[in-house]
Amino acid sequence: MSANRPLSERPTIEPRWLFPLLDALLALLAFAIAYVLRYELQIIRPILDPVKRDFTPYLPYAAVYVVLIWLNYQRNHLYRNIVGRAWLEEVYLIGSSVAVAIVIVLAMFFILQPTVYSRLMLIYVAALTLIGGALTRLIRRWALAYLRHHGIGIRRALIVGMGEIGQDMLGIMLARPELGYRPIGFLDDNLEKINDGVGRVQALGDTSRLAEVIDAYAVDTVIITFRWKHYERIEQLSEVCRAGATDLRIVPELMQLDIRQVQVENLDGIPLLGFGAQRPFSRVDQMLKRGLDLLLVTLGLPLWAPISSLVYLALKLEGEGPALFRQLRVGKNGRQFEMIKFRSMVADAEAMHDDMLRESGEDPRHPKFVDDPRVTRVGKFLRRTSLDELPNLINVLRGEMSLVGPRPPTPDEVKHYEARHTRRLQITPGITGWWQVRGRSNVPFDEMCAMDIYYINNWSLSMDVEILLLTIPRVVLRSGAY
């Protein structure tokens, strides 16, 4: 195995012949179904000729079509396992391949002038091939995501260099496990970074230990994130990967910038790369996000209002204190606000916090106490079901919180933040978020922060909807909640 192995040779879970064979069968099936639609069901336009057309004359054209589909899919690199390629991009490539194949078959009809042919049938063939190809790719993505979530087909990745771009790479791997990378650790020549580590992703020493770490941890892929001013060191590390037959990926200097903000222009044959000043969460983005919040909270009022009333009554009957608990939190751009929750602890719980923090050794930036003795009997149920957070919807209506976003920290937690951690305070905090649906309370602070930054950098309305949908089974299954 070569360290510079192209993406097309990257190992996949399914055998290489599977999708070429599947696409060939789908192309033949498209011809058969199209024949039924045209000649048996006579959809769109009736057959005026009473003589029934036989399918046999179409078989040579179907065979040519299958070969053309395979050649065009190959030309458009659809059989390459390119990590991060969007499904819509695959659909576009399928569509362009099908269009070329259909045009060639149609040209054959005009040149050869067969006694039996139907242009409308070819339109059916094109549509059916596109739908079949798009669905099989979508099912493949779901299957791979499921398998990788269960540890099948993953690549054990080692990050070399935990600077800003290394942290971004780590955040992407943690936030998008369906991409197939599992970070097993990192190397860095900065002793401070080695001593600190990043959540559950351990520091494995400096770069001189690369060969040793590759062998000891069965590393599949090494990702070097050093800047090009360290070219000689990068070349030395590359040789180590080649000698160990380990897959190597290098983040080029240009990628230190957000490539999504790059526009390519052509000035009389000279390519120009333009870097726009786009920032996540523009004014329009904020309006869309706010609109989604108000719409969903309003539509859900008949559901959450009566549930809140029952919870309020249960807490009053328990008699451990007020039903509602208000706590100072830090929101967007460091502005403080009072977050409202249902009370789940005894009255003097906050006074016990500092002592518990010292005794437990929990991370003061994101403390989570398992089997917290301060939690009441009703409160334990509320926490396990996340019903204690229902009053957060009031904060959402006020505009202090959103349905989706980084969880708002307390002022005491923010005191321990480093500069990079404050990026999660750039936007309105939320009730649920990317890290909650990926692990909930099990996620250490550094990983949580990396996922929050990934969310900020990649926000879209569809991403919010996805997180909200993923939150439902997490709450129902009580996964990771204390």
The mean per-residue pLDDT over the stretch 307-319 comes to 90
Residue bearing the bigger pLDDT, 454 or 259:
454
The pTM of the full predicted model, rounded to 2 decimals, is 0.62
The confidence band for 332, taking pLDDT boundaries of 50, 70 and 90, is: very high
* Token pair listed for 191: 């002793």
- Alpha-carbon span 280 to 460, nearest angstrom: 9
Residue 418 has pLDDT above 90, yes or no: no
CA-nearest of 341, 304, 290, 343 to 320 is 343
Q: How many angstroms from the chain centroid is the CA of residue 461? A: 14
- Structural domain spans, the chain: 7-149, 155-256, 283-476
Q: What does the pLDDT look like over 123-172, one tens digit per residue?
A: 999 999 999 999 999 998 888 878 877 777 788 999 998 887 888 888 88
Cβ atoms of 410 and 328 within 8 Å: the answer is yes
Q: What does the pLDDT look like over 199-220, one tens digit per residue?
A: 778 889 899 999 999 999 989 8
CA-nearest of 160, 222, 220 to 190 is 160
What is 155-256's CATH topology?
A: Rossmann fold (3.40.50)
Residue 185's H or E segment, with its range, is strand 181-187
- Alpha-carbon span 320 to 109, nearest angstrom: 83
Percent of the chain with pLDDT over 70: 84
Sort strands 270-275 and 247-250 into parallel, antiparallel or unpaired. unpaired
- Alpha-carbon span 427 to 84, nearest angstrom: 26
Q: What does the pLDDT look like over 338-369, one tens digit per residue?
A: 999 998 888 777 777 777 777 777 777 777 77
State how far the alpha carbon of 137 is from the alpha carbons of 92, 98, 99, 134, 380, in Å. 12, 15, 18, 5, 43
Matching residue, tokens 């969903």:
296
Residue 180 has pLDDT above 50, yes or no: yes
State how far the alpha carbon of 259 is from the alpha carbons of 251, 273, 472, in Å. 12, 10, 33
- Alpha-carbon span 443 to 263, nearest angstrom: 36
CA-nearest of 427, 422, 389 to 290 is 427
Indicate the SS3 state at residue 74: helix
